[in-house]
A and B are shown apart, each in its own frame.
Chain A
């Protein structure tokens, strides 16, 4: 087995496959199962200050080449969800707390609480494409984003990751802005805004009408984003979007990612997907005479 270890800022990962936010992270049991299935790190679902039920169903459908969802950021609120994180305190696998809010003050409160409950890093969801006042609406406001990141950095000592959307025109500028505000890594990408209309009724199927597209179809979009950021901004990148096989992950490493996150592939290949992908990465590295992952990162532009 080649060395699959990787580091992102202060986090040491035994392997580069992380669980993406919002998938199989409802509670301690589901996150524990993903750890047992080989995930190198866990990102929690995005948590806000107060309980939120999210949108009515249909919230998730599977299309030919990907998955479309508009969950609407359902979560029980940080104080309740904190117990699920605390229950994982014995695990050696890094737990990254994903948080969302509409302003810097609430983001800071959430980040402090995440650190208190034992999270090893926080991931700022400023990229959810379908939640009014949150996510992408926050991420599209450069000065607000800078204020949020700087305020959090002043208040907590664990690393701060910022998850960005592919639905922005000035990607590199935003990434530079995030780096300048002292964030520790960029996570790219969140889902791509999309819609599906039912032909018989003429209605959008998702209750929220628009949603976010993930899975196989969005991989080229994610690869492009990671590549553009890596070439222009000196900051660790975690690649997400459509990773289903080891070769998909290799492509992200070549584009410049130091680790990857996996979501929709749990639908395509089951929770064991983390083990499968690690094995496939290992096989590929050996076949191509790489001794570790670091040699590969950024191969596409170095």
Chain B
């Protein structure tokens, strides 16, 4: 069965301006990079990366951008939501020194992968990019797990002034990086793919999702690759052949929307 399991909010925590983490009881294993379908009864059901995981508890970290995320934002301890999943493939970590580049809320979906890399004693350099200082989050959590953290903001209010991909370009010049993992605005990830040349690259994509079961086709990219099932993480070698990557996504009706 793939139906939502009802669970209660255990904690709700403000990470930054308009960004919250909520945790709830939900047993089971997840691979870093996987996502849940989160049902807010009476509102909507939306995909959310798993940003926090223990054997019995899970969490998601999200920006309040619309009806469903606003409803999540307003939930209090004890309120009920439905969870199904985890879905998707997740990252495969390879190499000794890994570079993680998270733009916007992208760092939420990278967090578990970074912590896993550190548990395996791999060197992790993490770039967290945000529009401005008060939208930054997970900087402390990433430092705590032993990653080297660099920050970029578009307006220069803290850290490097400019896009996360530009900061990554500098890092790639200075350090020997074995593999790159990224999640964020698709054009940023596409630029990054250009910069990394032959270095192994994995990016996590977002597409409008309905079934998350690999059935309805709503989330397809390229030659019928289902972001919900064949992804959301794709290798650079695959992405180079996909015309949609960094160019367009589809809305709920299937119309193409340019990034």
Interface residues of A (CB under 8 A from B): 22-27, 29-34, 36, 45, 51-54, 56-64, 67, 69, 71, 74-77, 80-81, 196, 198, 200-201, 203, 205, 207, 263-264, 266-267, 270-271
Contact = CB atoms under 8 A, between A and B. Distances in A.
A-B CB proximity, top 4 nearest: A33-B224, A57-B45, A200-B6, A60-B211
Interface string B174-193: 00000000000000000000
B205 interface: no
B253 interface: yes
B82 A198 contact: yes
Contact of B252 (A32, A53, A60, A64): A53
Does more than half of chain A's interface fall in helix, strand or loop, or is it mixed?
loop
Interface string B214-252: 111110111111000000000000000000000000111
Given A203-B41, A205-B4, A29 B215 contact: no
Contact of A62 (B2, B80, B218): B2
Nearest to A56: B44
Contacts of B256: 80
A207 B255 contact: no
A77 B225 CA distance: 23
B93 interface: no
Given A24-B215, A26-B217, A62-B2, A75 B44 contact: no
B46 interface: yes
B210 A71 contact: yes
A204 to B, nearest CB: 10
10 contacts: A23-B217, A24-B215, A27-B220, A29-B225, A60-B215, A62-B3, A74-B252, A75-B254, A80-B254, A80-B255
B194 interface: no
A204 B43 CA distance: 13
A67 B217 contact: no
A23 B252 contact: no
B80 A74 contact: no
A216 to B, nearest CB: 13
Contacts of B82: 198, 201, 205
Given A53-B252, A76-B254, A198-B3, A59 B217 contact: no
Interface string B93-132: 0000000000000000000000000000000000000000
A25 B254 CA distance: 10
Contact of B215 (A33, A200, A264): A264
B258 interface: no
B1 interface: yes
Nearest to A205: B3
A52 B253 CA distance: 5
Nearest to B243: A29
Contact of B221 (A29, A32, A76): A29
A280 B112 CA distance: 43
B37 interface: yes
A76 B255 contact: yes
Contact of A81 (B3, B4, B39, B254): B254
A200 B80 contact: yes
A128 B227 CA distance: 27
